[in-house]
Amino acid sequence: MSIENDEKQLDGLIGKEQFVRRFIERLGNPSDYEYTGLCYEAENAECVCGHMIKYCFQIAHKVDKSKTAIVGSVCIDHFAGYAQGLFESLLKAKEALKLRLSEDKKRAKEASQKAEVQILADKFITLKAQARVRYLAIRQSGKRASYDLWFIVVRGIFVKQYKRPCDYIRFYKVQIERIETAINQLPE
């Protein structure tokens, strides 16, 4: 295990040296650059090192602001030890991006769950109405409805108050299955 870790660390150092060498060849001293505050997501962007990236962090020369470059989120770590100020500002931006992406993902999940709850609630209401129609038809024919159908129509199923959408989803799915089964049972 120790040899594997040493090899991985050596690969990381070689990658860092290559990155810094390419950076110096293309743009000069990494210490002469600063983070511009611009961070964005792109489809086909290229890092200053040459590989394709998704998240772009723009840096600019401290004196000649027309000299800019794009750094990928993975390559930020390569600045550690070479351009510490740049590294720290890029690292903060990377952490802020991670937090924003996490919050966006959470909001998207909540919106998706809210939509699913609404769909299930509508189906639940429709099935309760169908259960009532089925119950009345069975009673009018002089037969007895199943206990489950009777319970659903006469006693009723009431929606509890939950805090999380996932609890509503679970509740509605169980009750929908229960109502569908009761509707399809033959009368006694």
**What are the residue ranges spanned by the domains of the chain?**
2-100, 110-184
Question: 27-55: per-residue pLDDT in tens?
Answer: 888 889 999 999 999 888 888 888 888 99
- List, in sequence order, the alpha helices (H) in the chain: 2-27, 84-140, 147-150, 165-184
Which residue in this structure is represented by tokens 């802020």? 96
pLDDT for position 2 = 41
> Pairing state of beta strands 68-72 and 33-46?
unpaired
Averaged over 104-132, what is the pLDDT? 96
pLDDT for position 1 = 44
- What phi and psi, each to the nearest 5 degrees, are found at residue 37? 95, 0
What radius of gyration, in Å, describes the C-alpha atoms of the chain? 31
Name the average pLDDT for the chain: 87
Q: Is the full-model pTM beyond 0.85?
A: no
Averaged over 53-74, what is the pLDDT? 90
The rounded distance, in Å, linking the Cα atoms of 54 and 49 is 14
Question: 10-24: per-residue pLDDT in tens?
Answer: 344 446 777 777 777
